Copies of this chain bind each other. A is one copy, B any other.
């Protein structure tokens, strides 16, 4: 569905007030004093307008939103959390369709218009997560765009049968091939990455790999990813999520990695983690690397934090990167908008005539104030149709 809408008196990216006319789901004109001409009209009240926020890394199939309180007593290791979650899905009844509906609507209420969601593929749950989220994206096709990454959360080589399930997920229409800590989880960096990139080549799909491995171990994985990107000519189609290793202390080594990532147009997603080494946003962007962000999983069996708000995520990016100046906070916001959109290769993203009518109004006198206060969004528009108002979606949460 595409809508026609005139939004009066809004300030694009905090600049002077104008009206925005959307026709057939695309921005037709941005200028002061536009005529309604029979088009539905919203009063922006002089608020800031930006293009839709981009949730470039989350897990729609595993939040506990709306369920009983889960008391987290999980062990300290990554594998503890993975094993605990695989069982908790059964014990707690974490139903992927219902939970992804809830989470996607929360995202839409906060002004996200696009989501890249990883979805667990494993030998216990098969492709149930894919089926559940696919139902959600069909149900919410007029509210928010969702793309999927087939994610072997429990390991690929480590659990025989997972590869076949990954193939099935890709045949079902999952857009992106995922991967996970080739050494840390699958214990075979070459083997794991060969499979991931072989799937990508065979199905003609991009790649997005979770890489939690720190320091030299993660750096080695980055080197292997670069080598395969180059060999397959996949420049521009590979993303590394988290990439904690880029925050390692050996600056000269990181410089070499960044140069290689930039040369092969490999994108980075960071959540701005407070307790981990993290890629430095300014340094990556200065090298020309596209950087996006996401809330990752939230309110799940991994940790209780987070709420799905990409403006709050921009705060976390700012705090992690010691962004204090307004122009720096605006960089954090850019990562959560244009950065994610570039990484996901979203067609017609932006705030200009010809772009999609995906907009969000913000409270605040400046972009920075809008980010740091992250008050409920007055209005969210998807392809010219209002989908959320005063912090609530028009579609009710199940």
Cβ of A72: which chain B residues have Cβ within 8 Å of it?
324-326, 368
Question: Are B274 and A316 in contact, CB atoms less than 8 angstroms apart?
Answer: yes
- CB of B69 within 8 A of CB of A365, answer yes
Which residues of B lie under 8 Å from residue A304 when comparing CB positions?
324, 326, 329, 368-369, 371-372
A318, B74: Cα distance in complex, Å: 15
Q: How far is the CA of A303 from the CA of B306 in the complex (A)?
A: 22
Q: Which residues of chain B are near A320, meaning CB under 8 Å?
A: 274-275
Q: Is the CB of B69 within 8 A of A327?
A: no
A71 at interface (Cβ–Cβ under 8 A)? yes
Minimum CB distance partner of A302 in chain B? B324
A307 proximity list for chain B (CB < 8 A):
373
A305 with B69: CB separation less than 8 A: no
Q: Scan residues 353-392 of chain A and give those whose CB is less than 8 A from a CB of chain B.
A: 365-366, 368-369, 371-373
If A274-B319, A319-B275, A372-B304 touch, does A366 touch B324 (CB 8 Å cutoff)? no
What is the distance, in angstroms, from A33's C-beta to the closest C-beta of chain B?
A: 26
**Chain B residues with CB below 8 A from A327, complex form:** 73
Contact string against B for A residues 161-185, beta-carbon threshold 8 Å, 1 for contact and 0 otherwise:
0000000000000000000000000
Residues 272-326 (chain A) with a chain B CB within 8 angstroms: 272-276, 299, 302-307, 315-316, 318-322, 324-326
Q: Taking A274-B320, A304-B369, A368-B304 as contacts, is the C-beta distance between A71 and B326 under 8 angstroms?
A: yes
Q: If the complex has contacts A274-B316, A315-B305, A318-B305, are A325 and B365 also in contact, measured as CB distance less than 8 A?
A: no
Contact of A325 among B73, B325, B369 (CB under 8 A): B73
Kindly list chain B residues whose C-beta atoms are within 8 Å of the C-beta of A329.
Answer: 304
- Chain B residues with Cβ below 8 Å from A306 are 372
> Is the CB–CB distance between A71 and B366 below 8 Å?
yes
The answer to whether B74 touches A325, judged by C-beta atoms less than 8 angstroms apart, is yes
Most buried by B among A307, A365, A366, A372: A372
Bound-state CA distance A299–B315 (Å) is 13
The one of B69, B274, B324 in contact with A74, judged by C-beta atoms closer than 8 angstroms, is: B324
Given A74-B325, A305-B315, A69:B366 Cβ within 8 A: yes
Given A69-B366, A69-B369, A365-B69, A303:B324 Cβ within 8 A = yes
Give the contacts of A168-210 with B (CB-CB under 8 A).
Answer: none
Residue of B nearest to A318 (CB): B305
Q: How far is the CB of A162 from chain B (nearest CB, A)?
A: 26
Within 8 A of B (CB), among A234-285: 272-276
Interface centre among A69, A73, A274 (most CB of B within 10 A): A274
Q: Nearest chain B CB to A102's CB is how many angstroms away?
A: 15
Which residue on B lies nearest to A299, using beta carbons? B372
B residues less than 8 Å from A276 (CB atoms):
322
Q: In the complex, A319 Cα to B365 Cα: how many Å?
A: 29
Which 8 pairs, one residue from A and one from B, show the smallest C-beta to C-beta distance? A274-B274, A275-B322, A274-B319, A303-B324, A69-B365, A274-B320, A304-B372, A72-B325
26 contacts between A and B (CB under 8 A): A69-B368, A69-B369, A71-B366, A71-B368, A72-B324, A72-B368, A73-B325, A73-B327, A74-B325, A272-B274, A273-B319, A275-B319, A275-B321, A275-B322, A299-B372, A302-B324, A303-B324, A304-B326, A304-B329, A304-B368, A304-B371, A305-B315, A305-B319, A305-B372, A306-B372, A316-B319
Known contacts A69-B369, A72-B368; 7 additional CB pairs below 8 A are A69-B365, A71-B326, A72-B324, A72-B325, A74-B325, A273-B319, A304-B329
